[in-house]
Chains A and B, each alone.
Chain A
Amino acid sequence: MTTTVPVKPAKLPREDDPRHPVKRLSALFDKGSLQLITPDDLSGMLAATGTVDGTHTVAFCSDPTVMGGAMGHDGCKVVVEAYERAMADSAPIVGLWHSGGARLAEGVLSLHAVGLIFRAMTLASGRVPQISVVLGPAAGGAAYGPALTDAVILGPEGRIFVTGPDVVRSVTGEDVDMLRLGGPEPHGRRSGVVHVLADSEAHAIGEARRLASLLGDQGSLVIDDVADVDLAAALPESMRRAYDVHPLLDQLLDRGSGVELHARWAPNITTTLGRFGGRAVGVIANNPLRLGGCLDSASAEKASRFVRMCDAFGVPLIVVVDVPGYLPGVGQEWDGVVRRGAKLLHAFGEATVPRVTLVTRKAYGGAYIAMNARALGATRVFAWPGAEIAVMGAVAAVRILHRRRLAETAPDVRPQIETELAAEHERLAGGVEKAAEIGVIDEVVEPGRTRSALAGALARALTDDSPQGRTRGPHGNIPL
């Protein structure tokens, strides 16, 4: 929360500065729609309303031309006013951040003021979509502001940290620059702080517009607009071969509509906002290319936050399952895979938004339950023909169940016996027919009919006006 700033603010005007908050806010809003709701002064913050793809939106922007964008009493008041406006209008709110943190010269007054922003953000959580774009340094209080919101977009010059390189060096002796401490690489891959990495300021603001539009103007599902395609075409022939799930997701969603969140962090699961038949949806999918698609502690946490965000804003979910299980290992257990994995069970278990599941190839063990299984209250569960729903793979299962018999078998015929036993086991315990018989799969659907089947199930749930048909979860979106 420390920053070195001159006691006297720099002077306005700064019309030629590309960091001018009016310029940045103008880039966010539709042309000609910007209206300031606070004065353009020396407070270090500026708030405005406007439209984003026609959707009424509120925004505020740091003013780095005044004391490096440091936040004092007046600047924080601007942000709180923006939040009051967003709540009153039920509008999405976008924060454009470029700030060294609290104004040192104002002392505790500035800390208190920053705290009031955190309170406003928390009370707005799950009520109005909150999107943050970090375009420069965002230190201390300016780091936790974005972190409290639903999605954080990082521009190429964005740097997020609680304490800067100088303090880190003096306290811990670690020699690190701002890029390596809080730039795109650490926050994109390691910390999970940032949801979307952008390669330019214009790109960052463009992604904020897309997210504000998806969450703020969710649209209606038009079944006739959902054309069927063979979704299995994107998958390899061998059931054992891992693959990148992204081409499948590109075909599942309306063309080019997806915005993937946390693409590089915990990449063994994907979380994407996009449109399906014109309506905003959230898609969660295992990605077998990374860690075989296993669930682990980080991916479970990532998915649970996404589920809760979508539930809070009434965004229906599509869950695409191809999961071999939880990732085994001492590291995972000590990393809290039990505690962090439980978040996903909780997130799906409490979700009231329509949520459909599609098992493409396999769903094994505890991970089967965690991926929005029937037991957790899925709206409808589909599976492709040949999908396996089981405690574990059939071969692995017979190696345990028939350990003694297989040990007594001659090595040259063992593989054949194993295959026969596995087929028998699958027939009795694991196949998709058995799962349908038990009722944990509602419908076996061909890959070429899947889009329309998902659309039908979602459309029915979205028009359900019974008490069970409530479509928005009554909770905030704590940054899990």
Chain B
Amino acid sequence: MSHEIAAEMVANVLTLVAEQGAVLEAGDTILILESMKMEIPVLTETKGTLVDLRVSVGDVVQEGDVLAVVS
């Protein structure tokens, strides 16, 4: 089963923390977004492999944009 992780709000991609292919536990940080002058970690709710990382540092993401897929 794969889980898409989407942006909750408009933001800049500040840092990529996990690499594609990484094995993640629930609660691990995938990347950090910047919005409202804050650095907001994006976590995975499920354990699995980071099969798709769809953004790069500096990207502007909109609410609902899929950032990553954990399978």
Contacts and interface: CB of A to CB of B under 8 A. Distances in A.
Interface residues of B, number: 12
B36 interface: yes
Interface in A393-407: 393, 395-396
Contacts of A331: 63
B36 A294 contact: yes
A95 to B, nearest CB: 31
A256 interface: no
Contacts, number: 40
A288 B42 CA distance: 11
A242 interface: yes
B61 to A, nearest CB: 14
A293 B41 CA distance: 12
A356 to B, nearest CB: 25
A289 interface: yes
B35 interface: yes
A331 B43 CA distance: 24
A325 B38 CA distance: 11
B39 interface: yes
Interface in B28-58: 35-41, 43
A467 B8 CA distance: 45
Contacts of B8: 290-291
B64 to A, nearest CB: 10
Nearest to A393: B37
In this complex, the member of B8, B35, B36, B39 whose beta carbon has the largest number of chain A beta carbons within 10 angstroms is: B36
B5 interface: no
Contact of A292 (B40, B43, B63): B40
Given A242-B41, A289-B41, A291-B9, A324 B36 contact: yes
B39 A324 contact: no
Interface of A: prevailing SS: loop
A289 B36 CA distance: 12
A335 to B, nearest CB: 12
A55 to B, nearest CB: 35
A288 B63 CA distance: 17
A240 B39 contact: yes
Nearest to B45: A264
A240 B63 contact: no
Contact of A240 (B9, B10, B37, B43): B37
Interface string A319-338: 00000110101010000000
Interface in A297-352: 324-325, 327, 329, 331
A325 B37 CA distance: 11
A241 interface: yes
Contact of B9 (A241, A288, A327, A396): A327
B40 A324 contact: no
Contacts of B37: 240, 324, 393, 395-396
Interface of A: 238, 240-242, 288-294, 324-325, 327, 329, 331, 393, 395-396
Given A288-B38, A294-B36, A327-B36, 19 more contacts: A240-B37, A240-B38, A241-B39, A241-B41, A242-B40, A290-B8, A291-B8, A291-B9, A292-B9, A292-B35, A292-B40, A293-B38, A324-B37, A324-B38, A327-B9, A329-B9, A329-B10, A329-B63, A396-B37
15 contacts: A238-B39, A240-B37, A241-B38, A241-B39, A288-B38, A289-B43, A290-B8, A291-B9, A294-B9, A324-B36, A327-B9, A329-B10, A329-B63, A331-B63, A395-B37
